[in-house]
Chains A and B, each alone.
Chain A
Amino acid sequence: MSYLDEGHTIKSWLTSTDHKRIAILYAISISVFFFVGGAAATLIRLELATPAGDLVSHDTYNRLFTAHGVIMVWLFLIPSIPSVFGNFLLPLMIGAKDLAFPRLNLLSWYLYVAGGVLVLCALAAGGVDTGWTFYTPYSTMFSNGYVVLTLFGVFVTGFSSILTGLNFIVTVHHLRMPGMGWFRLPLFIWAIYATSLILVLATPVLAMTTLLLVAERLWHIGVFDPALGGDPILFQHLFWFYSHPAVYIMVLPAMGVASEIIPCFARQRIFGYRFMAYAILGIASIGFLVWGHHMFVSGQSMAASMVFSLLSFLVAIPSAIKVFNWTATLYKGSLRFEAPMLYALGFVGLFMIGGLTGLFLASLALDVHLTDTYFVVSHFHYIMVGGTVMAYFGALHFWWPKVTGKLVPDLWARIAAVLIFLGFNFTFFPQYLLGVAGMPRRYHQYPPQFQVLHLLSSAGAVVLAIGYLLPLFYLAWSLRYGQRASANPWDARGLEWETSSPPPTHNFTHPPQLPERVYDYDPTSPRAVAQ
C-alpha cells in the first residue's frame, strides 16, 4: 500500500509524521506563497511598463516589492527544495524509513505555516515598505508599515528552518543504510547536508537581529539609529551575516538537483564526484565569510572591503568547478532532452550568468557604480529564479512520477520549460542593461529613456508567467489522467528508484540493493524505458 493510501482525510495529512506526506504539505503551502509573491511581481512589472507612476502610488509600490521579496525569500526559496524534495528524498536516497525525528519534522511545517500566516496578516493589514532587507534606521524609526508583525513571522519561520536543518544533519549521520559511506551519497544529499549546516548556523543570527530591531522600534533606544547613538552598519553586518549564507541555502540544493538530473539524461557517471562534494562544502563554508560584499558603499573600511572582495572571488572557484563538471558530464554522453533535463540545463546556463555577474559586483570599483541598480536586481534573479526556481521545476518533473505514481505529459512539460527559459531571459536580461545605464532599483517611476528596456522586461514577464502557470494545469491533469509510472521510469540510479512509485509508507518493502558505486550510468547501453 502506498503512502498516499495511508488515509484520505484531511486529519490524516495534518497529523502525519511521514516525511513524504510532510513534503507534500510543504509543496502545497510554498506553492500558495509562490503565487502570492508572483502576483506582487506582476503588479510591479505592470507599473514599470510606463515611466510615469500611474498604476500605483509610490507608497503602494514600496509595499509591493517588499511583500514580493519577503515572501519569495523566506516563504518560498528558503524552504523550496530542502523542505519539499529534501524531505521526500533524503530518507529514500539513503535507504532509511524516515527522518531521525519525524515529529519534529511535522512541527517544522507547523512553524513554517504559522510564520507564513503572520506575514500574510501583516500584508492584509497594510503591508511593509522597508524592502526585504529591513535596513535601519528607516525600519525602526520612520517606516509606518507593519514591521514588527512581519519580522515576527520571519522569526517564527526561522525556527522551522533550524529544526529542519537539525533533522537532516542527524539523519544523514545516523540513518544511512549499512555500507553507504559518505562518498557513496548522491550529491543531492551532500547539497542538502551542507544547506542544513547553513540553516542551523546562520538563521539564529537573523533571529537575534530581528529582536534588536524590534527593540529599537518599540522602545526607541539607539541600537542601530545613529541619531540615537546607534550604528546602522551594525545592522547591516548582522543582517548580511545571515543573508549572504542564505543565498547558498537557496542555491546549493538546486545544484544538488542538477547533479542528479544531468547524469541520468546523459547516461554518464557524474564527472569528478569527489570534487563536486568538496565544492559543495567549500561553497558552504566560504559563503560564511563574504557578507561584507553587500556593504561596499556603506562606509566600512577599505581594508575590510578588499578582504571581502577577495573572498567573494574565492567563492567563484568551487562554483565554477561545479559548472565545469556538469559540462564534462555531458561530454560523450548519450543525451536525451526530456523536460527535467531541459530544466537542469537551463539551470546551469542561468546560474553561470548569475555567478559571473556576481563577480562584476564583487569588484570594488565596479560595484560603486552598479550597487543599488537594476544590475544587482538582475544578478540575484538570475541565480534565485534562473537557478533555484528552474531547478525546483526540474526536480518537480524528475521526481513527480516517484511522488505521485503518474507520468507527466512530456510535450507540455517541454513547452513550459522552453517558455520559462525564454521568458526568464526576456524579463531579466534587459535589467542588466538598465543597471549599467544607471537605473536605480526600488523606484516606481523613471526617466523616459529607460522605457524600451523596461517594456521588454514587462513583456518577458508575461511569457514567464504563462510558463509558470502551465505546469499547474498539466500536473493536475496528470494526477487524474496521467499514465501510471513504473518504479523507475527514467532508468535512473539512486535508491529512491528501487522502491515502487509511489513508495509504500515505510519506503521499502524489502531492503534496497546498494549499488557498486554511485551514479553507475553507462552511456553505451541504451536506456531501458520501462513504463
Chain B
Amino acid sequence: MSAVTMSEQGEAPRLGMWVFLASEFLFFGGLLLAYVYARSHWPEGFAQAGSHTHVVLGTLNTALLLTSSAVIAVAVACAEDYRRWSRRLLWVTFVLGLAFLAVKGLEYWKEWGEHLVPGPDFALHAPGAELFFLLYFLLTGVHTVHMLAGLVVVGTLAGRGAREATHVEVGALYWHFVDIVWIFLYPLLYLVGRAS
C-alpha cells in the first residue's frame, strides 16, 4: 500500500470494511426477500418444514456465535495495550467459530439422513416445504462461506499477531457482521415454524 500515508493506514481499511459490509448486507437482503416472499406465499408448507429444523443444534450454535462475538469484542479492547491477551482471545474466537462449523456440519449430516435435502426423495410433501429447505440451505450455505472467510481472517490475526490495533478492529467488524446475519437466520429458520 505504497500510496497510503501513515495517518491513513487505519482509516482506509476501516472504511473499506464498512463499505464491504454494506455490500454484504444486500447479498443477504436479496435472499431474505425471497424467503419472506415465499413464506407469505406458502405459510403452511413453511411452518411444517420449519418445525423439522434442529432447533437444539441451532440454539447451541447461536450461543456459540454470540459468545465468540463477545470474546472478539474484548480482543479489540485489548489490542492496543494487552497484545498477548488480545491474541489469546482471538484464538478463543477462532475455536468457537470452528465449533459452530462442526455443529453445522452435524446438522447438515442429520438433515441428509432425514431426506430434508431438496431432491427426488425429499421427505416432506406440503407445498412450499421443499422451497423452505432450498432457501435454508442457500442461506446457511452462504453464511457458512462467510464463516470460513471469517475464520481465515481471525486465524491470521491470531497467528501472525496484528501489527496494528485497527487490523483487529476491522477483522472484528467482519466477524460481528457474520454474527448479526445469524441472529436473523436463527429465528427465521428455527423458531417461526414452531411458533405457528
Contacts and interface: CB of A to CB of B under 8 A. Distances in A.
Interface residues of B, number: 35
B101 interface: no
A381 to B, nearest CB: 29
B134 A102 contact: no
Interface string B59-90: 00000000000000000000000000000000
B143 to A, nearest CB: 13
Interface in B113-145: 118-119, 127-128, 130-131, 134, 138, 142
B41 interface: yes
Given A100-B16, A204-B30, A231 B23 contact: no
Nearest to A228: B131
* Most A Cβ at <10 Å: residue of B11, B24, B26, B138: B26
A208 B30 contact: yes
B128 A229 contact: yes
Interface centre among B16, B33, B142 (most CB of A within 10 A): B16
B12 interface: yes
Contacts, number: 108
Contact of A223 (B11, B26, B38, B142): B38
A114 interface: no
A98 interface: yes
A159 B130 CA distance: 30
A229 B127 contact: yes
B86 to A, nearest CB: 25
B106 interface: no
B37 to A, nearest CB: 6
Interface stretch (B2-10, B149-157, B174-182, B188-196): B2-10
A336 interface: no
Interface in B89-113: none
Contacts of A208: 27-31, 34
A100 B118 contact: no
Q: Find the residue from A96, A229, A231 having the highest chain B CB count within 10 A.
A: A229
A217 to B, nearest CB: 12
A167 B23 CA distance: 13
A270 interface: no
Contacts of A201: 22-23, 26
B27 A207 contact: yes
A210 to B, nearest CB: 10
Contacts of A203: 23
Interface in A212-246: 212, 215, 219, 221-223, 229-231, 234, 238, 241
B138 A200 contact: no
Nearest to B45: A229
A interface bracket (residues with beta carbon within 8 Å of B)? 35 or more
Interface in A152-170: 162, 165-167, 169-170
A98 B20 contact: no
Secondary structure type dominating chain A contacts: helix
A80 interface: no
A101 interface: yes
Contacts of A207: 27, 30
Most buried by A among B3, B8, B22, B119: B3
B118 A219 contact: yes
A96 B8 CA distance: 12
Given A102-B2, A221-B131, A221-B134, A166 B20 contact: yes
Given A170-B16, A175-B8, A215-B138, A101 B34 contact: no
A91 interface: yes
B34 A234 contact: yes
Contacts of B16: 100-101, 166-167, 170
A97 interface: yes
A50 interface: no
A480 B42 CA distance: 67
Contact of A238 (B11, B12, B15, B33): B33
B19 interface: yes
Interface in A49-107: 91, 96-103
B37 A212 contact: no
B102 to A, nearest CB: 25
Contacts of B8: 100, 174-175
A209 interface: yes
A231 B41 contact: yes
A218 to B, nearest CB: 10
20 contacts: A97-B2, A100-B3, A100-B8, A101-B16, A102-B1, A103-B1, A162-B23, A166-B16, A166-B19, A170-B12, A174-B8, A201-B22, A205-B26, A211-B138, A212-B30, A223-B34, A229-B41, A229-B128, A230-B131, A238-B30
Nearest first, the 4 A-B pairs at minimum CB distance are A208-B30, A98-B3, A97-B3, A204-B27
Given A96-B3, A100-B3, A169-B19, 11 more contacts: A91-B3, A97-B3, A100-B16, A101-B12, A165-B19, A166-B19, A174-B4, A174-B12, A204-B24, A223-B34, A506-B2
